């Protein structure tokens, strides 16, 4: 079972709007494919209360690599587990670019998440400069290899991977299905090489970057695109549910 659609709310929301959005997702009933929402930390309790016993899972958008201690402002894996999170996004390009998440720290976060029973959604992706320089594969390979080297092949194989070209995030500019498929196939090939063919076939590889109801079916129709990590469109229940429906 490889299909999955995950909403990444980023730093959006509030108690009232979340209530309406979560209620609409819950009311959608039986999901055509597994779905989840990754909400800001303060709303984990709200997500849990709204989605418990539903077909929608929930998770967080980041986590500390440390178990506990003097790390003001950080949130540990055990804290996320306290709120029954299934997923945690790790290495989102916004964390990498704006908050200093290095490949090494991302690998440590993957390791910590798995040790605490959470499923990491490991994000990789190139910037526009990198794509134009023709180093897309080298960049995503480096990001993936760091997790394999520092957390181990078993850890990499246990992740959901999200390929998110940085130039397509929040820009309205989507990778074409063919561009995305080429990178997804490359990533699956590397996972096969490092973790074994069976595990590569079983790995869920999501595409993220301006996925909308209008382009979701074409993207998800590609052989190695198993669903999406959805930012802006995950904030509108109707759009998110239409994208989920396109992933069947
Ligand atoms: P977007 O964001 O769908 O708004 O482009 C995707 C993401 O950053 O995960």
Q: With 90 as the cut, is the pLDDT of residue 196 above it?
A: yes
Q: How many structural domains does the chain have?
A: 1
Averaged pLDDT for residues 88-95: 98
pLDDT at 248: 84
Whether 184 and 163 have beta carbons less than 8 Å apart is answered as yes
Please state the atom number of ligand 1 nearest to the C-alpha of residue 93.
8
Cβ–ligand 1 contact at 209 (below 6 Å): yes
pLDDT at 32: 79
Cβ–ligand 1 contact at 123 (below 6 Å): no
Q: Does a structural domain hold residue 242?
A: no
Averaged pLDDT for residues 27-55: 93
Residues of the chain above pLDDT 90, percent: 94
Distance of CA 97 to the CA centre of its chain: 16
What is the C-alpha R_g of the chain?
Answer: 17
Averaged pLDDT for residues 11-32: 93
Distance of CA 142 from the midpoint of ligand 1 (Å): 22
CATH number at residue 160: 3.20.20.70
pLDDT at 81: 98
Q: Does a structural domain hold residue 28?
A: no
The total number of residues written for the chain in this structure: 248
> For the purposes of burial, counting CB atoms within 10 Å of the CB of 163, is it exposed (0-12), middle (13-18) or buried (19 or more)?
buried
Q: What phi and psi values does residue 163 have, to the nearest 5 degrees?
A: -90, 115
Q: Does a structural domain hold residue 9?
A: no
Please state the atom number of ligand 1 nearest to the C-alpha of residue 208.
6
Q: With 80 as the cut, is the pLDDT of residue 230 above it?
A: yes
pLDDT at 1: 55
Residue at token pair 């509030």: 14
Residues of the chain above pLDDT 70, percent: 100
Q: Does a structural domain hold residue 13?
A: no
The model's pTM: 0.97
Q: With 70 as the cut, is the pLDDT of residue 34 above it?
A: yes
pLDDT at 173: 87
Q: Does a structural domain hold residue 8?
A: no
Q: Does a structural domain hold residue 214?
A: yes
Q: Does a structural domain hold residue 243?
A: no
The residue nearest atom 7 of ligand 1, judged by CA position, is 231
Query: Whole domain around residue 56: which residue ranges?
Result: 36-230
Q: Does a structural domain hold residue 29?
A: no
């Amino acid at each position: 079972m490889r299909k999955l659609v995950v909403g990444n709310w980023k730093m959006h929301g509030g108690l009232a709007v979340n209530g309406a959005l979560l209620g609409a997702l819950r009311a959608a009933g039986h999901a055509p494919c597994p779905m989840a929402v990754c909400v800001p930390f303060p709303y984990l309790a709200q997500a849990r209360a709204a989605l418990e016993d539903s077909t929608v899972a929930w998770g967080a958008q980041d986590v500390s690599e440390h178990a506990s201690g003097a790390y003001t402002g950080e949130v540990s894996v055990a804290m996320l587990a306290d709120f029954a999170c299934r997923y945690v996004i790790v290495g989102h390009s916004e964390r990498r670019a704006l908050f200093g998440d290095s490949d090494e720290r991302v690998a440590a976060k993957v390791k910590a998440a798995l040790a605490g029973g959470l499923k990491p959604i490991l994000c990789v992706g190139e910037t526009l400069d990198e794509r134009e320089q023709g180093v897309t594969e080298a960049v995503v390979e480096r990001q993936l290899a760091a997790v394999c080297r520092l957390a181990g092949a078993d850890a990499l194989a246990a992740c959901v991977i999200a390929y998110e070209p940085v130039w397509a995030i929040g820009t309205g500019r989507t990778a074409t299905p063919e561009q995305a498929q080429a990178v997804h196939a490359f990533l699956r090939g590397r996972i096969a090489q490092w973790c074994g063919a069976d595990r590569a076939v079983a790995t869920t590889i999501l595409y993220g970057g301006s996925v909308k109801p209008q382009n979701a079916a074409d993207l998800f129709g590609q052989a190695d695109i198993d669903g999406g990590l959805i930012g802006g469109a995950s904030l509108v229940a109707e759009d998110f549910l239409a994208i989920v429906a396109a992933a069947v």
